[in-house]
A and B are shown apart, each in its own frame.
Chain A
Amino acid sequence: MSGHKHTCQGDHDHDDTPEMGLQYSLYNKIDTGNLECLNERVEGSGKDVFKAWEERLNFEKYVESDVDEELLFNIPFTGNVKLKGLIIIGGEMDLHPSKMKLYKNRPHMTFDDTSIAPDQEFDLHPDNNGTLEYATKVVKFSSVTHLTLHFPKNFGGETTKIYYIGLRGEFTEGHRHGVTICTYEARPNVSDHKTDLMENISHEIQ
C-alpha cells in the first residue's frame, strides 16, 4: 500500500496553522520510559524524534541507524490511540527511509519478528520539511496501545537518518486494570473496618 499525499483545499499554509500542532500532539501520549529503538547508533536518540510539531525542523536531534540501514521503533502509548496519519522527516537524499511497516499491539518486537505481515505498509517519498502525510486505514488502527514502526530500506545510503516522526490521531484514556476481585456486602462487617477513630475523640476543656 503506498501512501498518498495530503491535499488541502483553500489557501491556508499547511505547515503553519496551529491546528497542525494540535493534531500532531500524540507524541505527548507516548510512554517514553518504555519507548525502544533498535539499531540506533546513539543510545537514547530514538526518543528525540518524537517531538512537537513546532520542533519538527530542528535538525539537531535525530536518530541514525547503526550497523545497517534498518530501524525499528517500539512505541507504547499511555492509553488507547486511534491513529489517523503519520509524517516522517528523513535524512538527506540516500539516507531517507524508503519503506515503512506498521505493526499494532505487538510489544517488544525485534528484527526477526518483522518477517510477519505488517498491518500496513507504506512506500515513503523523500520529505525534508514534513509536508507529506501518510494516512492509515483507520479501521485497522482504531485501538492501538502499542505501535511498532519498521524501516527496512532506504534510498541507497549506508545508514538511515530520521529527524522527525509525527503521529496524528485521537487519544482516549486506557482501561485501568484495577481491582477485579471485589465482594459486595449488604451490611458492613465491623471487623473488616478497623479504625482507631473511636479512640481518638478529643476532649476539650471548656
Chain B
Amino acid sequence: MVLESTMICVDNSDFMRNGDFLPTRLQAQQDAVNLVCHSKTRSNPENNVGLLTLANVEVLATLTSDVGKILSKLHQVQPKGNINLLTGIRIAHLALKHRQGKNHKMRIVAFIGSPVSTDEKELVKLAKRLKKEKVNVDIVSFGEEVANNDLLTSFINTLNGKDGSGSHLVTVPPGPHLSDALISSPVIQGEDGMGGAGLGGSGFEFGVDPNEDPELALALRVSMEEQRQRQEEEARRAQVASAAEGGSTTPAPIKEASPNEEALLERALAMSLERGEEEQTSPAMPDFANMTEEEQIAFAMQMSMQDAQDQSATKPSAVKTEAKQTPMEVEGEEEDYSEVMNDPEFLQSVLENLPGVDPQSEAIRQAVGNLSKEKKDKKDEDKEKKK
C-alpha cells in the first residue's frame, strides 16, 4: 500500500514496429502499460500515474489517478524517431517534482525496446542525481535487451547503491508474453510480493469476484481449506493405520458436483464418508441440504461410530482404516481420540505394546469386552434414531 506517483515512459521509436513480440512490440508494450497502471491503482487508489514518450520526448498525460485517460492517450502513440533516454528520464523526474501529492514517493517505469546510444557516464550521473532525490526507477528491457544490458544494469546498480532495492531491471526475452513476464516481476509485485493478487486472465478463484461478493468468496475459500486439512489428516491416519495393520483401502470415488456452495459442502462431507461407504450396506446419502448443521454433525458421528463398530466385528487382519477417521472437521480433535479410545481392537494392540501389561489378564479382557458391548448398544440406538 505504498503511496506513490509513477511516470510511465513508453518507447515509441521505429524499433517498435518489430514483430518479435506479438502482434508488434508497440502493442505488447501497450498491454504491459495497461497492466502496470492497473496494478498501481489497485494497490492504492490514491496513487497517480502519468505517461510520456521516450522518442520525441513529450508528456502525454500528467499525473492522474484516472487510468482511462492514460489508456486513451496510450492508444494514440505511433512509432517514430529514436529513443532519447536521458532527456526522457529527466523530464519524467521534472513531472514527478510537480506532482500534487507531495507525500507520494516518486517512481519512474521505463519501457526500453531499442538500442540506447547514451554515454554510460552520463547515465550514471543521472542515476546519482535521481538517487539523491529519492526517485526509484524500474526498467523493462525488451527487444534489444542484449545490447542494452550492461548500460541499464550499471544504471540500476548506481541507483540502488549498496543496499537499496527500490529500483529493478526486468529483462524480457522475445516471445509473445511481455505482460505475462511482468506479472511475476518486481515491477508489479512491488517489494513484498503483494501486487500480483487479482491479476491475470479472469484472475479470480472459484469464478467469484472477491469484490462483488466477499462473503461468498471467503466461505468458498474456507471450505476448501477445511477439505484440504481433512485430506491431510486422513492421509496421516492412513499412514499410521497402515503401519499398524498393513494395507489400505482405495477411497471411494468422490462425488463430482458443480462448484457452488451446497455442492462443495456436499463434497466435503462425502470425502469424510468416502471410506465408510464401502462398509455401509445401504450407502444412501441423506439430503444434506435439508439437514441443519447439527443434524449433519450427528449423522457424521453415527457414520464413523458405525464404522468403528463394524471393524471390531471383523477380523483384525481386515484392512480398515475408517476407525481412525475424523467424523467432521468441526468437531475437533476430541472426537478423534474418543473414537480411537473406544475401538477395542486398537486398545488391545496398544495394551500389548505396553510393558508390564498382560493383555490376557482378566481385568483387561473385561474392560475391552464392556467397551464392545457399549458400542453394540449405541449402534442399535443410532439405527433407531436414523429411522
A interface residues, Cβ below 8 angstroms from B: 34, 38-39, 41, 43, 66-68, 70, 107-108, 110-112
Given pairs A38-B133, A67-B129, 20 additional interface contacts (CB within 8 A): A34-B103, A38-B132, A38-B134, A39-B131, A41-B161, A43-B164, A66-B131, A66-B132, A67-B128, A67-B131, A67-B132, A68-B128, A68-B132, A70-B132, A107-B102, A108-B102, A110-B97, A110-B133, A111-B132, A111-B133
Digitize B92-126: 1 where CB-to-A-CB distance is under 8 Å, 0 elsewhere. 00000100001100000000000000000000000
Among B97, B102, B132, B134, max chain A CB count under 10 A is at: B132
Digitize B67-97: 1 where CB-to-A-CB distance is under 8 Å, 0 elsewhere. 0000000000000000000000000000001
Closest to B164 in A: A43
Provide the residues of chain B in CB contact with A107, threshold 8 Å.
102
Closest to B133 in A: A110
A-B contact pairs, 22 of them (CB 8 A): A34-B103, A38-B132, A38-B133, A38-B134, A39-B131, A39-B132, A41-B161, A66-B131, A66-B132, A67-B128, A67-B129, A67-B131, A67-B132, A68-B128, A68-B132, A70-B132, A107-B102, A108-B102, A110-B97, A110-B133, A111-B132, A111-B133
B133 and A66 contact, CB distance less than 8 A: no
Closest to B103 in A: A34
Closest to A72 in B: B132
Chain B's interface size range is 10 to 19
Closest to B132 in A: A39
Q: Give the secondary structure class of A's interface.
A: loop
Provide the residues of chain A in CB contact with B97, threshold 8 Å.
110, 112
Provide the residues of chain B in CB contact with A112, threshold 8 Å.
97
Closest Cβ of chain B to A39, distance in Å, is 4
Provide the residues of chain B in CB contact with A43, threshold 8 Å.
164
Provide the residues of chain B in CB contact with A111, threshold 8 Å.
132-133
Provide the residues of chain B in CB contact with A38, threshold 8 Å.
132-134
Q: How far is the CA of A43 from the CA of B128 in the complex (A)?
A: 16
Q: How far is the CA of A108 from the CA of B133 in the complex (A)?
A: 11
Provide the residues of chain B in CB contact with A108, threshold 8 Å.
102
Q: How far is the CA of A111 from the CA of B132 in the complex (A)?
A: 8
Q: How far is the CA of A43 from the CA of B103 in the complex (A)?
A: 16
Q: How far is the CA of A99 from the CA of B136 in the complex (A)?
A: 29
Q: How far is the CA of A111 from the CA of B129 in the complex (A)?
A: 9
- In the A-B complex, list the 8 residue pairs whose CB atoms are closest, starting with the nearest: A39-B132, A67-B128, A108-B102, A67-B132, A110-B133, A67-B131, A111-B132, A38-B132
Closest to B135 in A: A110
Provide the residues of chain A in CB contact with B132, threshold 8 Å.
38-39, 66-68, 70, 111
Provide the residues of chain A in CB contact with B131, threshold 8 Å.
39, 66-67
Provide the residues of chain B in CB contact with A68, threshold 8 Å.
128, 132
Closest Cβ of chain B to A183, distance in Å, is 31
Closest to B162 in A: A41
Closest to A42 in B: B163
Q: A34-B103, A107-B102 are in contact. Are A66 and B134 (CB under 8 A)?
A: no
Provide the residues of chain A in CB contact with B102, threshold 8 Å.
107-108
Closest Cβ of chain A to B108, distance in Å, is 15
Q: How far is the CA of A66 from the CA of B129 in the complex (A)?
A: 11
Q: Which chain B residues (125-158) contact chain A, with CB distance < 8 Å?
A: 128-129, 131-134
Closest Cβ of chain A to B2, distance in Å, is 14
Closest Cβ of chain B to A158, distance in Å, is 13
Closest Cβ of chain B to A77, distance in Å, is 16
Q: How far is the CA of A171 from the CA of B341 in the complex (A)?
A: 74
Provide the residues of chain B in CB contact with A34, threshold 8 Å.
103
Closest to B97 in A: A110
Provide the residues of chain B in CB contact with A66, threshold 8 Å.
131-132, 161
Q: How far is the CA of A67 from the CA of B127 in the complex (A)?
A: 10
Closest Cβ of chain B to A116, distance in Å, is 15
Q: How far is the CA of A41 from the CA of B162 in the complex (A)?
A: 9
Q: How far is the CA of A70 from the CA of B131 in the complex (A)?
A: 12
Closest to A33 in B: B103
Provide the residues of chain B in CB contact with A70, threshold 8 Å.
132
Q: How far is the CA of A78 from the CA of B115 in the complex (A)?
A: 50
Provide the residues of chain A in CB contact with B128, threshold 8 Å.
67-68
Closest to A113 in B: B97
Closest Cβ of chain B to A36, distance in Å, is 8
Closest Cβ of chain A to B359, distance in Å, is 69
Closest Cβ of chain A to B96, distance in Å, is 10
Among A39, A67, A68, A108, max chain B CB count under 10 A is at: A67
Closest Cβ of chain B to A195, distance in Å, is 34
Q: How far is the CA of A22 from the CA of B102 in the complex (A)?
A: 33
Closest to B128 in A: A67
Digitize B153-174: 1 where CB-to-A-CB distance is under 8 Å, 0 elsewhere. 0000000010010000000000
Q: How far is the CA of A112 from the CA of B90 in the complex (A)?
A: 13
Provide the residues of chain B in CB contact with A67, threshold 8 Å.
128-129, 131-132
Q: How far is the CA of A101 from the CA of B102 in the complex (A)?
A: 22
Q: How far is the CA of A39 from the CA of B161 in the complex (A)?
A: 11
Provide the residues of chain B in CB contact with A41, threshold 8 Å.
161
Closest to A39 in B: B132
